[in-house]
Amino acid sequence: MAPAFEPVPVPKDTEIQTETPHDTSNTVNNDAQVDYKSRVTVVGSGNWGSVAAKLIASNTLKLNSFHDEVRMWVFEETLQCGEKLTDVINRTNENVKYLPGIKLGKNVVADPDLENAVKDANMLVFVTPHQFMEGICKRLVGKVRGDAEAISLIKGMEVKMEGPCMISTLISENLGINCSVLMGANIANEIAVEKFSEATVGYRDKREIAEQWVRLFSTPYFVVTPVQDVEGVELCGTLKNVVAIAAGFVDGLDMGNNTKAAIMRIGLREMIAFSKLLFSSVRDSTFFESCGVADVITTCLGGRNRKVADAFAKNGGKRSFDELEAEMLQGQKLQGVSTAREVYEVLSHRGWLELFPLFATVHEICVGRLPPSAIVEHSERKPKLPLFYSVS
């Protein structure tokens, strides 16, 4: 059941068209406008990708400005039964590997051919593990429509010689299209069974595009709010996984709820500081949206990064994250460990390690330089420049 408050109104379907007819004179009637419907493709079909497809597919059937069909690119796999995953999804309307027991919607069409899946779409939803995105973007150069709009649901960033590159920027620069982001306190399996949740769309300057994404994702149980802060929203979604790893260490060592709350507070403080050091445009208010403090809370209580870090700590760090991921996640990927490494590279390169004791310690534990118990011993060190942690 939704909380007793009034959600942000979702714009009516007739208010916005992402594609405009060539003839914009007053002679164009409503029937003609139907010819210019948006087509949506979801690039990714894991746990969250499948839930995203389900949300979108439920709305494209209702909204006149969208074609009913939602394409979903699937990285093809052969299941134990011998069938291709794509064939099973299209036959059963269910992603039996990554979201078993949930019907996606009969208008979801799984497609193992990436280029074919995106060729007609003018709205592209990217939701894959972030470490695969550079390769995906290279494959799609020159293959997407010039008028396409993108949105990234991906948590993570690429670290290059010139500095960190957000996934939304990677998409925009490689494909030459605008890219918004969607992040929030979103455990996919809970949304799949339609438990109430919120999310945040981060956009740059086109409010009408943000509202189009809001309408595409919003349902009575999934309330989406637009915020003009792409980097802030995206960094929240990225960095909270590092904090969740720290929370998992605390749980695995049975340090208690007080300690876990302290780690979450320190983690949020470092998220704000890191974000604002990288991008001065990041807004303080963004951290109070679903993508900020709410996502930190839910990920530290129930996400996969917390779960695997808990097991890592219980084993004294003697079993690697790769081994635990393979055993516990059935093909899903952790984001927190790789993000911790990427953040550490940025901190080291810029001389900021002492300013971010929690972030630095998480990485050093993950690679075996420190024991899991160091999460408290080292995180309580005072940074040299506490000014960076203040929120004005």
User: Which residue, chain included where needed, has tokens 């500095």?
Assistant: 163
Return the structure tokens found at 145: 């429509």
What phi-psi label fits residue 142: left (phi over 0), alpha (psi between -120 and 50 degrees) or beta?
left
- Cα–chain center distance at 1: 24
> What SS3 state is found at 380?
coil
Q: What is the distance between the alpha carbons of residues 369 and 240, in angstroms, rounded to a whole number?
A: 22
Contact criterion met (CB below 8 Å) for 271 and 331: no
Q: Which of 37, 97, 155, 240 is catalytic?
A: 240
Q: Whose CA is closest to 291, among 241, 329, 248, 257?
A: 241
| Listed residue (222, 170, 228) closest to 202, CA to CA | 228
Residues 194 and 189: their CA atoms lie apart, in Å, by 9
On whether the CB atoms of residues 381 and 375 are closer than 8 A, the answer is no
User: In sequence order, what are the residues at sequence separation of 6 or more whose Cβ sits closer than 8 angstroms to the Cβ of residue 253?
Assistant: 313, 314, 372, 373, 375
Alpha carbon distance 116, 109 (integer Å):
12
Please give the structure tokens belonging to residue 315.
Answer: 């084993």
Q: What is the CA radius of gyration of the chain?
A: 21
Q: Angle at Cα 107 formed by Cα 53 and Cα 195, nearest 5°? A: 40
Q: Yes or no: say if 295 and 186 are a contact pair by the CB < 8 Å rule.
A: yes
Helices (H), the chain: 30-33, 47-60, 85-92, 114-118, 133-140, 167-175, 188-192, 207-217, 230-252, 257-278, 295-302, 304-314, 321-328, 336-350, 357-366, 374-377
The rounded Cα 88 to chain-centroid distance in angstroms is 26
- Residue written as tokens 């993000």? 339
> Using CA atoms, how far apart are residues 53 and 125, in angstroms rounded to an integer?
9
Under DSSP, is residue 387 helix (H, G, I), strand (E, B) or coil? helix
Whether residue 384 lies in the annotated active site: no
Q: Which residues are catalytic?
A: 240
